[in-house]
Amino acid sequence: MSRPAAFLDRDGVLIHDCGYPHRPDQLQMMPGAAEAVKRLNDAGYVTVIVTNQSGIARGYFSEDTMHAFHKLLLAELAKGGATIDAIYFCPFHKVAVEHRYQHPDHPDRKPNPGMLVRAAADLDLSLDESSIMIGDNLSDMQAAKNAGVRGFHFTGGNLDDLVSTIVGG
pLDDT single digits (tens) 85-124: 999 999 999 999 989 999 999 999 999 999 999 999 999 9
Catalytic residue among 9, 108, 136, 140: 9
Is 140 a residue of the active site?
no
* Cβ–Cβ < 8 Å for 130, 100: no
Is 160 a residue of the active site?
no
Q: Which residues of 52-61 are buried (b: 16+ CB within 10 A; e: fewer)?
A: bbbbbbbeeb
As a whole number of angstroms, the distance between CA 92 and CA 42 comes to 33
Which stretch of DSSP H or E encloses residue 46?
A: strand 46-52
Q: Confidence band (pLDDT; 50, 70, 90) for 1?
A: confident
Contacts of 75 (CB under 8 A, 6+ apart): none
Q: Confidence band (pLDDT; 50, 70, 90) for 168?
A: confident
pLDDT single digits (tens) 44-78: 999 999 999 999 999 999 999 999 999 999 999 99
Does the pLDDT at position 160 exceed 90?
Answer: yes
Residue ranges and CATH numbers for the domains of the chain are 5-131+144-167 (3.40.50.1000)
Q: What is the pLDDT of residue 90?
A: 98
Mean predicted confidence (pLDDT) in 115-142: 98
Catalytic residue among 11, 108, 136, 140: 11
Give me the chain's average pLDDT, please: 97
Q: Confidence band (pLDDT; 50, 70, 90) for 35?
A: very high
Q: Identify which has the larger pLDDT, 168 or 17.
A: 17
* Cβ–Cβ < 8 Å for 85, 75: no
Contacts of 19 (CB under 8 A, 6+ apart): none
